[in-house]
């Protein structure tokens, strides 16, 4: 039996660590940074087959407490005054069990130690960034291979070579 995997991402921690998102943040384009993060997490979730939650604290969006799904990623904005760390710590305790493996993506070392003590696996912001880039590249490779197969039909390389030879003979 396979365990369900849930990856809980500290959203603003990723935005502060991933190069393209840092650029957006520095240009005061925090909403665009959040959106790009969620798109990347969605692609990662779809390719890896896990469930991804992204937690943002009320630091940049005060007064909003809500949960919703965007790009099939569960998005959580904590209550005003509640940090993403506090929310993540509480949810790890609730989710972690024999059938569910929980991973927490943050580069906050204190948070990593705390969630690890509660049984979650920890992933740094850069590790997740690299995993997402690796997944994206693998997906592009698979897509290209699938597209190439569709374009050439179901012929194997050997069969195509035989057909090329027959074609050349016909032209002579």
CB 5 within 8 A of CB 12: no
Taking all residues of the chain, what is their mean pLDDT, rounded to a whole number?
85
What angle do the packed helices 125-152 and 30-48 form, to 10 degrees? 60
Q: Which residues pair with 121 in a beta bridge?
A: 103
Classify domain 4-171 at the CATH topology level. Answer: Rossmann fold (3.40.50)
Q: What is the separation of C-alpha 169 from the centre of its chain, rounded to a whole number of angstroms?
A: 52
Provide the residue ranges of all domains of the chain, joining segments of one domain with +: 4-171
pTM above 0.75, yes or no: yes
Q: Determine the average pLDDT of the residues in 107-123.
A: 75
β-sheet bridge partners, residue 55: 10, 76
pLDDT at 96: 81
Q: What is the pLDDT of residues 77-101, one digit of tens each?
A: 988 778 888 888 888 888 887 888 8
Q: Assess whether pLDDT exceeds 80 at residue 69.
A: yes
């Amino acid at each position: 039996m396979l365990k369900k995997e849930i990856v809980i991402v500290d959203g603003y921690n990723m935005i502060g660590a991933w190069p393209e998102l840092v650029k957006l943040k520095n240009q005061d384009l925090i909403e665009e940074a959040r959106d790009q993060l969620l798109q990347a997490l969605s692609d990662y979730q779809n390719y890896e087959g896990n469930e991804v939650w992204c937690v943002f604290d009320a630091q940049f969006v005060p007064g909003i407490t809500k949960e919703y799904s965007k790009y099939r990623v569960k998005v959580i904005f904590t209550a005003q005054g509640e940090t993403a760390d506090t929310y993540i710590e509480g949810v790890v305790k609730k989710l972690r069990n024999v059938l569910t493996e929980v991973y927490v993506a943050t580069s906050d070392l204190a948070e990593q130690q705390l969630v690890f003590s509660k049984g979650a696996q920890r992933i740094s912001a850069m590790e997740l960034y690299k995993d997402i880039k690796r997944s994206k590249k693998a997906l592009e490779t698979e897509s290209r291979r699938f597209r190439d197969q569709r374009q050439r039909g179901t012929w194997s390389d050997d069969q195509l070579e035989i057909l090329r030879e027959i074609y050349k003979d016909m032209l002579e």
